[in-house]
Amino acid sequence: MEMRFCLSVSAPTGGRSRLAAACLPLLLAAGACAPAPEAPQSGIAISNVTVIDALSGERPGQTVLIEGDRIQLVGPSDEIFFGVTEQIDGTGKFLIPGLWDMHVHLTFDERFTPTMPEMFIRYGITSVRDTGGLMAKVAPVVERMRAQGAIAPRVFFSGPLLDGVPVVYDGIDAPEIGVPTLDALAARARVTELKAQGVDFIKIYEMVNPEVFAALVEAAAAHDLPIAAHVPLSMRASTAGPHVNSMEHLRNVELDCAGNAETLLQTRLEELAARRDSSGMMLRTALHNLQRMNAVAALDEERCAGVLATLRNTIQVPTARLNALSMFPVFQRNDWAAAVAGIPQALREQWSGPSPSGIPAAVQRDTSYAQYTLDMIARMHEAGVPIGAGTDTPIALAIPGYSLHSELEVLVAAGLTPLEALGAATVQPAKFFSLEDEMGAIAPGMRADLVLLDANPLADIANTRTINRVIARGRLMPVH
Ligand SMILES: [Zn+2]
């Protein structure tokens, strides 16, 4: 089936001739300008809508034509005529590119797994990056999500956390999503194996040593795989960061920014060497408890500026809503109860009430790390370090989909404009996968992932929650 459309060519203006040039091949392909009424119709048109994307800003009065999984044409509504199967009146509405959640774990809590894809879609999340899960568990989920007709976002996955020894997520003290990497040889073999299993990127975790880290980086480059990483505990942000494509949670940035970074790192290396047979989760947590807030308190402006200057090509995924949960207690929001009603029954009770999921009141009251997170995001943003939007769903009360909107709000609270926050959930993730020619903007040739909103997200970023329609992989999704 072929969508037919034509473009008015009277009284050309600069904008119009650019548009005409952009769609000329399509006009030729269509063969005729006026729709032939007897021919079968396909495609989707959203007319008279305000188009918003992080690259071009706000464009009112537009018509967007979609055929299959591609945007065919974007232009002023009074100049575009079309015949399509599905026509959506966008009057008074706002169209943004489909949102990404750059940090999710589809198999972290298997009570969530079956419903997660549909929940993402309901909240306008049309792409997710699964940042850690065992292949045996995550691969079948990915396969189901990618099946024809699935109500699911696009999914990009890393397989397991590539950890060192001991493993933090070892299946004993925490869900098993990590694997040990003993040495450089094992690192290379593991990346080769993961590539053969179809991963889209790799995830480097906190216990790897510098030798293993270097081997993983080299192997990933050889296999053309981007890298998401926690800065390893034995390394600095400024030495590990420039070799990876994204860094998660702002983890360990505080150490490198501290005036006493040398001493802190020395202590850390001694502890890591002395406690190799302890539990990975306990060791990691003990080191964070020992050093994190000390490092935050010892932040050295000049030193930190030098660290951030090394990170201008490394997307920071701060998972701000997670780090700043004490300052933005999501469970106190007016729409929390309604959102919890949509999660699997087994979790509903745990996630309700004044202290959901056992988050102690004391933790809720201490906002020092939350404040540090907001300050560091602002600092990075000013230094030209790219920021990406991710949530760590479903960890720490992250309702799939819903939590991405909280993330956008915290990014704006940290100093991003609403348009920049949209960029963090659209342009930056596309760049991570070198897909910026296909995703992240509303323009001809782009993938057809779109969210129609009832209210303007540039007036208030919370308006990304006013979801009217979701188009994912070129299909209108059920969202209500
Ligand atoms: Zn995570």
pLDDT in tens, 229-282: 999 999 999 999 999 999 999 999 999 999 999 999 999 999 999 998 899 999
pLDDT at 33 (0 to 100): 45
Cα of 392 from ligand 1 centre, angstroms: 5
Structure tokens given for 219: 């192997």
As a CATH number, domain 99-436 is 3.20.20.140
pLDDT at 361 (0 to 100): 67
pLDDT at 363 (0 to 100): 65
pLDDT at 39 (0 to 100): 43
Cα of 239 from ligand 1 centre, angstroms: 21
Cα of 347 from ligand 1 centre, angstroms: 19
3-state helix vs strand vs coil in the chain, percent to 5 = 40, 20, 40
pLDDT in tens, 157-170: 999 999 999 999 99
User: How far is residue 266's CA from residue 320's CA, in Å, rounded to a whole number?
Assistant: 28
Cα of 389 from ligand 1 centre, angstroms: 13
pLDDT at 340 (0 to 100): 96
How many alpha carbons lie under 13 Å from residue 78 in its C-beta half-sphere? 7
Cα of 91 from ligand 1 centre, angstroms: 39
Fold of the domain spanning 4-97+469-476? Urease, subunit C; domain 1 (2.30.40)
Cα of 43 from ligand 1 centre, angstroms: 37
Give me the residue spans of the domains in the chain: 4-97+469-476, 99-436
C-beta separation of 93 from 452 below 8 A: yes
- DSSP string computed for 45-72: EEEEEEEEETTTEEEEEEEEEEETTEEE
Cα of 178 from ligand 1 centre, angstroms: 11
Cα of 441 from ligand 1 centre, angstroms: 26
Q: For each of the chain's 480 residues, which pLDDT tens digit applies?
A: 344 444 443 333 333 333 333 343 344 334 334 444 444 467 999 999 999 999 999 999 999 999 999 999 999 999 988 888 899 999 999 999 999 999 999 999 999 999 999 999 999 999 999 999 999 999 999 999 999 999 999 999 999 999 999 999 999 988 899 999 999 999 999 999 999 999 999 999 999 999 999 999 999 999 999 999 999 999 999 999 999 999 999 999 999 999 999 999 999 999 999 998 899 999 999 999 999 999 999 999 999 999 999 999 999 999 999 999 999 999 989 999 999 999 999 999 899 877 787 676 666 778 999 999 999 999 999 999 999 999 999 999 999 999 999 999 999 999 999 999 999 999 999 999 999 999 999 999 999 999 999 999 999 999 999 999 999 999 999 886
Cα of 69 from ligand 1 centre, angstroms: 30
Cα of 36 from ligand 1 centre, angstroms: 52
Cα of 248 from ligand 1 centre, angstroms: 8
Answer whether 0.75 is exceeded by the pTM.
Answer: yes
pLDDT in tens, 132-145: 999 999 999 999 99
Cα of 100 from ligand 1 centre, angstroms: 15
Cα of 446 from ligand 1 centre, angstroms: 29
Cα of 464 from ligand 1 centre, angstroms: 23
Cα of 321 from ligand 1 centre, angstroms: 13
Cα of 367 from ligand 1 centre, angstroms: 21
Cα of 451 from ligand 1 centre, angstroms: 25
C-beta separation of 307 from 257 below 8 A: yes
